[in-house]
A and B are shown apart, each in its own frame.
Chain A
Amino acid sequence: MHFKFNNEKPIYLQMIEQLELDIVSGRLPPGSQLPTIRELASQAKININTVARALAELEELNLITTKRTNGKFVTNNQKRIIKCREKLAETTTHEYLKTMQSLGFNTKELLKYLKERS
């Protein structure tokens, strides 16, 4: 698993975002088992407690579950994953629109620009 963090934002938030991306994009398929906290910390080169915190939050969001065998698994709940996808799409688009508007694009120019490139 590949992680990239910067120092300017809380690390645990960044980890949450990147795991959400992995889940939504299917890199972490529904029902699949996540690496252990130690493994994640080692791969991401961050603190174990930070990883634990991020996973706890994801569990609150019902994106992952803990099975009795003490493994963490991606949820099978498709609705949840779709909802997460929408949330991520919303934030990304919002950011994008803000930037493009600051560059001087109005809505018509923006739509044309996008159509040419998709």
Chain B
Amino acid sequence: MSLLQYHHVSKRFGNTTVLDNINLEIPTGKIIGLLGPNGAGKSTLIKLANTLLTPTTGNITFQNQPLGVASKTEIAYLPERTYLDKTRTIRQTLDFFQNFYHNFDRAKAERLLDDLDLQLDTQILHMSKGMQEKLQLILVLSRHVKLYILDEPLGGIDPAARDYILDTILTNFDEGASVLISTHLIADIEKLLDEVIFLQNGKIILQDDADHLRAQTQTSIDEIFRKEFKNAR
């Protein structure tokens, strides 16, 4: 059974169509790359799965149930921005997550934070942006869920930190869970991907197994992407 299903989903804002008749299934146990140029609709696609937006037409189901409290319990979302209360300390944030998510593994989070030498009583305000992003990633990956959705986890991060993030993603998500990563920095991430989905102008133009694509075209996913989107705005 696939985890997340988009049925004929379209999203319009006023007169602009951001997503056009999306039919998509996210399978279990795979790392999937949602790739596309800026403005393709990746973030919108993701926000729809998290009930931050409602589809203009069509609907989305999680494990064949409509989105709701049950789906939010089993989806861990890492947005592009810092969504934490910056006036709190790391410890208070851990308390918060533990309080509201019953599948939050506090011990794991503290272990990962320890690896980064982060003091639990630091106020989030006082952390650098890079550190804040790593903290959020740790919080998200410390939840035992079925689907991790990471929206541009590598954006604005220096190359050294990128390795840490990719490694953390690889070694820390639950076995049997799926990870949906949206990014336009493909070269760094493509070795991790099982499947790729190409999104352009609100439409899915490609969905395939990563190695299968490589065998077919004898090039990297990055190359395929560049060729495909050469004429994108």
A/B: CB atoms within 8 Å of each other = yes
Q: A residues near B, CB below 8 A?
A: 5-13, 38, 41-42, 45-50, 53
CA distance A10 to B191 in the complex (A): 9
Do A47 and B171 contact each other (CB < 8 Å), given the known contacts A5-B191, A7-B190, A7-B222? no
The stretch from B91-99, B145-153, B208-216 touching chain A is B208-216
When distances are taken between beta carbons in the complex, the residues of chain B under 8 Å from A50 are 194, 211
When distances are taken between beta carbons in the complex, the residues of chain B under 8 Å from A47 are 31, 170, 191-194
19 contacts between A and B (CB under 8 A): A5-B191, A7-B187, A7-B190, A8-B219, A9-B215, A10-B211, A10-B212, A10-B215, A11-B211, A42-B167, A42-B171, A45-B166, A45-B167, A45-B191, A46-B170, A47-B192, A47-B194, A48-B170, A49-B31
Q: By DSSP majority rule, is chain B's interface helix, strand, loop, or mixed? A: helix
Q: From A12, A42, A46, A48, name the one whose CB has the most chain B CB atoms within 10 angstroms.
A: A48
When distances are taken between beta carbons in the complex, the residues of chain A under 8 Å from B219 are 8
Across the interface, do A8 and B167 meet the contact criterion of CB distance under 8 Å?
A: no
Residue of B nearest to A5 (CB): B191
* CB of A25 to closest CB in B, whole Å: 24
When distances are taken between beta carbons in the complex, the residues of chain B under 8 Å from A13 are 211, 215
Across the interface, do B170 and A49 meet the contact criterion of CB distance under 8 Å?
A: no
B57 in contact (CB, < 8 A)? no
Residue of B nearest to A42 (CB): B171
Q: Size band of the B side of the interface?
A: 20 to 34
Do A46 and B192 contact each other (CB < 8 Å), given the known contacts A7-B187, A8-B214, A10-B215? yes
Across the interface, do B170 and A45 meet the contact criterion of CB distance under 8 Å?
A: yes
Residue of A nearest to B190 (CB): A7
When distances are taken between beta carbons in the complex, the residues of chain B under 8 Å from A41 are 170
When distances are taken between beta carbons in the complex, the residues of chain A under 8 Å from B210 are 11
* CB of B219 to closest CB in A, whole Å: 5
Across the interface, do B214 and A7 meet the contact criterion of CB distance under 8 Å?
A: yes
The residues in B between 140 and 178 inclusive whose CB is less than 8 angstroms from any CB of A are 166-167, 170-171
CA distance A110 to B222 in the complex (A): 38
When distances are taken between beta carbons in the complex, the residues of chain A under 8 Å from B222 are 7
CA distance A46 to B194 in the complex (A): 10
When distances are taken between beta carbons in the complex, the residues of chain B under 8 Å from A46 are 170, 191-192
When distances are taken between beta carbons in the complex, the residues of chain B under 8 Å from A38 are 171
B228 in contact (CB, < 8 A)? no
Across the interface, do B191 and A11 meet the contact criterion of CB distance under 8 Å?
A: yes
B29 in contact (CB, < 8 A)? yes
Do A7 and B167 contact each other (CB < 8 Å), given the known contacts A13-B211, A49-B29, A49-B30? no
Say which residue of B171, B194, B212, B223 sits within 8 Å of A8 (CB atoms).
B223
The residues in B between 77 and 112 inclusive whose CB is less than 8 angstroms from any CB of A are none
B218 in contact (CB, < 8 A)? yes
CA distance A8 to B211 in the complex (A): 9
Do A9 and B218 contact each other (CB < 8 Å), given the known contacts A42-B167, A45-B170, A49-B30? yes
B221 in contact (CB, < 8 A)? yes
Residue of B nearest to A9 (CB): B214
